[in-house]
A and B are shown apart, each in its own frame.
Chain A
Amino acid sequence: MSDQKMRAIVSGLEGYSFEEASWVNPKPLSECRVAIVTTAGLNQEGNADWNPGDQGFTVLSGKERDFTLGHFSPNFDRTGWVVDENVVMPLDRLDEMAAEGKIGSVADVHISFMGAQPDHTLETIRLDTGPAAAKALLEDGVDVVLLTPV
């Protein structure tokens, strides 16, 4: 029951919410280009490291799916990821949905940040890296983003 304890530990942490919620009405899903943005701290080319407090992001290629999980926190299970990366990064599932026509297409560009940030205001993500990541996705024609945590 470790996760219950972890949830209790982090449940009181502060979060940052916006005064006015943004809202985008998407096209029909069958016409949408879909990307994944994860906070698992994924890198490519074998880099298994990610420094605590780093609010930067990595651009992940949807074609070269050689992802390495570098999240600094030891407080979550990694064996599920090692056995099947779709449990965090369900690109194979999105491929299948695209083949079935449920979604329009799978993006070439995906993004990873790292969660468990000590700065709960997430200032860098809000002002700099978040908008920059959005720009990279929009340049790939992305309409819909699925966010996955760990």
Chain B
Amino acid sequence: MGTLASVLEQSGLATVAISIIREQIVATQPPRALHCEFPLGRPLGKPGDSAFQHEILDAAFDLLNAESGPVLVDYPEEISDDADTPLSCTIPPADNSDKHPAEAEARGLLPVWRRSYEKYGRTTVGKVVPPEQVPEMVALFAKIADGEDWTSVGLPGDLTKLGADIKNFYEEASLSLSDGIPGARQAETWFVTQTRAGDVIQRARVALKEQKAGSYFTSYILPMTQVREPENGSND
């Protein structure tokens, strides 16, 4: 982002960048940057807190008063993610007992996901499939996890993006299964460690490595910090 800021400035625009990875901003030296040690994905720090967001914007725009640069200022407050504390959610009963348990779990979450969508009006699901097809995709990943050849299970598109559709579906559903706004990455840890689909994706990732599917698929199908390697396994 620092390089992009310099390109825009070179074109005649005054820029101020909010920084979220300090080393990257130090390396790229944009004209003006306010480093905010906030959760990745939340550069303004606190969703739903307009007063705090205004404080960040005021601090950022203050940098426009500098007479020369590059300017890098650290915002004094830090906010950590809450990945170590999975969101506490009660998963509704699965509604199709003849399905794979993970697919049934996802089907049970569909109406819950719809509630989140109706409440917030936004989704990040849909890279390959719409939310309604996520349970079917979970079933396909279960086949991969159980050892079937990933190229022949009938995936309708990019495997990594399908993994993202599943993860994002669960995270969005969790918003209607918990109170308030979750801390950063709490829903992610819930999905990865507490749900059947999360377990399926973990096991599918291991199977994909064994099938030598390629690092693009195995590196980005789950957050790097949430990957579970087999106890006796080795990395690629």
Contact = CB atoms under 8 A, between A and B. Distances in A.
B77 interface: no
Nearest to B53: A93
A1 B223 contact: no
A87 B184 CA distance: 12
A83 B225 contact: no
Given A72-B161, A82-B123, A146-B60, A125 B7 contact: yes
B167 interface: yes
Interface string B30-72: 1100000001111111111010011001001100100111100
Query: What bracket does the count of chain A residues touching chain B fall in?
Result: 35 or more
Contact of A2 (B24, B47, B127, B223): B223
Interface string A61-80: 00000011110111111111
B168 interface: yes
Contacts of A144: 13-16, 61, 64
Contact of B47 (A83, A102, A135, A142): A83
Counting chain B residues whose Cβ lies within 8 A of the other chain, the interface size class is: 35 or more
B175 A82 contact: yes
B7 A15 contact: no
A66 B226 CA distance: 30
19 contacts: A2-B83, A15-B2, A15-B28, A23-B9, A26-B14, A47-B126, A48-B126, A70-B124, A72-B164, A75-B40, A77-B185, A78-B168, A79-B182, A126-B7, A138-B11, A138-B12, A138-B13, A146-B15, A147-B1
Interface of B: 1-24, 27-31, 39-48, 50, 53-54, 57, 60-61, 64, 67-70, 80-81, 83-84, 116, 120, 122-128, 160-161, 163-164, 167-168, 171-172, 174-175, 181-182, 184-188, 216, 220-226
